[in-house]
Structure formats: C-alpha cells, structure tokens
Structure 1
Amino acid sequence: MTDDEGVHVETEAERLTRNWNELLQELRVAQTGVQILTAFLLTIPFTPRFDDLSDGQEIVYLAVLSGSVAATALLVAPVAMHRALFRKGQRPWLVSAAHVCASVGLAALAVTVSGVMWLVFDVVIGPSWAWAAFGASAFLFGALWIGLPLLNRNTR
C-alpha cells in the first residue's frame, strides 16, 4: 500500500511479520550463547575441582545453573510457541509473547552471567573480588542493554 506521495505504508500484517522476523534474528544470537553457557555449567559438577566448592559456592552454582536453564527456556520458547500456533492466526499474540520471553530471557541471562562472574572470582581470588566482578558485570549489562537504548530514545 502507498500513500499519496508514493511512499509504502506498512500494513498491520506486514508490521507483525517484520516484528516477528526481527525478534527471530535477535533470538538466534542470544540462543547460541545461552545454550553454550548452559552446556558448560552442566559439566562443572563432573570436574575434580567441584568437590572443593564451599556450601555457599555450591548454592551460587545451582542458582546460576537454574538461571541459565530459565534463560534458555525463555529464549527458545518463541520458537516452540510459533510451532504450536503455526497458521492459527495468532501472530499478534505470538509477537507480543515472544517480546516478553526475549526481554525476560535476556534479563535472566544478564543476572546469570553476572552470577557466574561472582562464582569464578570467588573460587579464584576470594569474595571481595567476586562482589566487584558481579557489580561490574551487572553494571556493564545494564549500561549496554538498558542505558544506551534509553539514552538514544531520549535524544530523538
């Protein structure tokens, strides 16, 4: 469809298709990283050094493993939902649900990676550095994933 000046005006169906395709591209990038992280975390208990972890470190390990599995489930969920609803006329709901899953999944990934930073630093050099690494990681994710987009949104 074009307007009076010959410029293409996007229909609602075209907008939904474009939004869905953009979401899928974003999810492809995130899924690879979170799946590798989850696979890596699943192998850690089978390493000799795992027995050296303190009770607190084991709890943090289980928390970051759970976060990684949750992030994986959330970032892969839109694909499963699409498969279940294929050709059922649910594209508006699907785009909305995929957006929520992607947002929550990315938040879970950021918290999980920051938790992994805490765990690694705690094991290697102690709790003071672990908290600094956690804080720096969380700050970096927040600045890049929230701060910069908000800054850009406010300048336009």
Structure 2
Amino acid sequence: MSSNRSAGGPEAPVPDEDGDLSDLLGELRVLLMSAQLLTGFLITVPFSSGFGKIVAWEKWLFVATFAMALTSLVLFSAPAVQHRLLRPLGDRPSFKRLASLQTLAGAVCLSLALVFAAGLVLTEALGQFVGAIAASVLALFITAFWWWLPLALRARRRL
C-alpha cells in the first residue's frame, strides 16, 4: 500500500505533483503544435496575390500577429531545448518554475496571435466591423477558458 493513502481513503495529494516535468512537456506538445500551425499559415500570407491589396493597418496587424505567433513558438520550444542543454538538471524545481513561466508567456502570445489572426481573416472576408466583433468575442472566449476559469477554480479549490 502506498504511503500516500490513508486506510481505505482516497490518495492524499503529493506536494508539487502537478508540477511534474513530463506533464509540462506533454502540455507543451499540444501548444507547440498550435503555434507551429498558425506560424506556418502566416508565413504563406505575404506571398499570396491579395496581400499587396490590404491596407496599411492590416499589414501592421499581420506583422503583430506573426510576431506573436513566432514568439509563442520560441517560448513553447525553449523548455525542451533548455532541458537538453542543462542535462542533468541540477535544480529541477527551479527549472520547472522557469519552464512554467515560459509556457504561460507563450500562451499569452498565442492568445494574442489567435485574436489578431481572427480579426485579420474575418476583416478581409466580411469587413472591418465583423472582424472586430469576431476578434473581441474570441478574446473573451480565450480569456474565460484559458485564464479566468482555471484561476477561479484554483481560488475556490475546486480542481
């Protein structure tokens, strides 16, 4: 019987268990794929025939979107590269904190890139008003499900 279990009761939480490095790296695989797909799509945009026809502010929005997507890609891949270079890890808890911070910073950048991309695509397809509304709705959706909900659940100790 595990020392973390009480007699017949549920397993007691292990301190820092949810900070396991392999869990973090698994999460990064999901986020990294999203950043890679978005960045890959954005790389092709300036080479399309219609890119020259968009107005200046849309080009700047594209640049901001591309910069946020690239930044998220760098931040999501950084822990894997750092882990490889730092092996064996001398201070595993500090590395996990650094990797977590980089992951959250990457998620902020990916959030912005997704909102900007939605605004850009829908502005081009359906007009500036619809693009702005859609980007705002997506921003609220991301804020609610990626940021507010987990923090609210943690504050209420529900998960």
Matches within 5 A, 1:41-120: 41-120=42-121
Q: Is the 8 A contact 2:4 2:14 kept in 1?
A: no
Distance in 2 between residues matched to 1:125 and 1:9, nearest whole Å: 51
5+ residue gaps in structure 1? Answer: none
- 1:138 equivalent in structure 2: 139
Distance in 2 between residues matched to 1:79 and 1:73, nearest whole Å: 10
* Higher helix proportion: 1
Q: Is the 8 A contact 1:2 1:9 kept in 2?
A: no
Distance in 2 between residues matched to 1:140 and 1:93, nearest whole Å: 32
What TM-score do the two structures reach when normalised by structure 2?
0.86
- The letter for the 2-side match of 1:120 is V
Instruction: Report the alpha carbon displacement of residue 77 of structure 1 after superposing the two structures with TM.
Output: 0.5
Distance in 2 between residues matched to 1:104 and 1:133, nearest whole Å: 24
Distance in 1 between residues matched to 2:129 and 2:103, nearest whole Å: 32
Q: Structure 1 residues 140 and 5, CA, compared in 2 at 3 Å: closer, same or farther?
A: closer
Distance in 2 between residues matched to 1:60 and 1:78, nearest whole Å: 28
Q: Is the 8 A contact 1:2 1:8 kept in 2?
A: no
- The letter for the 1-side match of 2:138 is S
Distance in 1 between residues matched to 2:112 and 2:77, nearest whole Å: 18
Root-mean-square deviation (Å): 2.3
- 2:31 equivalent in structure 1: 30
Tell which deviates more after alignment, 83-92 or 38-47: 83-92
Q: Structure 1 residues 155 and 88, CA, compared in 2 at 3 Å: closer, same or farther?
A: closer
Q: Structure 1 residues 9 and 56, CA, compared in 2 at 3 Å: closer, same or farther?
A: closer
- The letter for the 2-side match of 1:75 is F
| Cα shift readout 1:23-54 (whole Å, capped 9, x = no counterpart) | 11110111111101101101111111111111
Distance in 2 between residues matched to 1:99 and 1:65, nearest whole Å: 23
Instruction: Report the alpha carbon displacement of residue 88 of structure 1 after superposing the two structures with TM.
Output: 3.8
What TM-score do the two structures reach when normalised by structure 1?
0.88
- The letter for the 2-side match of 1:39 is G
Distance in 2 between residues matched to 1:11 and 1:111, nearest whole Å: 33
Distance in 2 between residues matched to 1:3 and 1:44, nearest whole Å: 54
